[in-house]
Amino acid sequence: MEEKERLEIALHFIGSGKPESDIWFCGINEHGEWKCSDDEMEKFKVKEYENEIDISSPNQCSTYNGYKRFLEIIAEDNLKNKNYFILNLGPFGTASEGMDICLPAKIFFGLPKDKHYQKVIKNKRHQYLYNFFVKYNWKLKNIFFLTGLKHGNIKEDTNDFLNTLYKKEYNQKHDLQVDEINNKVYVNKNKNIFVLPHASRISYDVINYVYENYFKK
């Protein structure tokens, strides 16, 4: 398998769970890296997503535990029924947040060895994400970007994708604004897209605030 084909497979794979669900979580990169094996890549050759994922099981990574805490308060039935979808802005896994992908993976996918590979793949990845969002009617979902805030603002990667999404749909920049009371919550005008602290660090105070102000009936 050529490097270009491997890269396309990784870029095209969006996430895990049930995309028909009304609850989506978006992170930055998956924990755990692609296995640098053509046999592994063949498994994902025609897949946009995997069905099997269970964040309620013990010994999950801190990010999945954050999603679990969130669902326990926001949508407990979704947690019990495994009715949620998890995706990432980036197509590659890393051992921990903020780390670069490993050199063997860069070689396997034919990427530049420095961090400039991010610019090489971003536009194409955003297009695949956008196609997926449209396919599954993103405007009817509750989408939580638990990607973290930087100096109180939406991080660049999240901001860039949201602008891509809104540009293609509405020919404008995204309309998310910080909540008037809680500066750790950004929300759009339709109140269905949220940007929040990183899932591994989100507090129950923030989760409860979102529930009380945006979901409690």
SS3 content of the chain, % helix, strand, coil (to 5): 40, 15, 45
Segments in 97-155 forming alpha helices (H): 103-109, 117-135
CA-wise closest residue to 142 among 76, 81, 89, 75: 75
Tell me the pLDDT of the chain (217 aa) as tens digits. 899 999 999 999 999 999 999 999 999 887 767 788 888 888 888 889 988 888 987 777 888 899 999 999 999 999 999 999 999 998 887 766 666 788 888 888 888 877 777 777 888 999 999 999 999 999 999 999 999 998 889 999 999 999 999 999 999 999 999 999 999 999 999 999 999 999 989 999 999 999 999 998 7
pTM here?
0.93
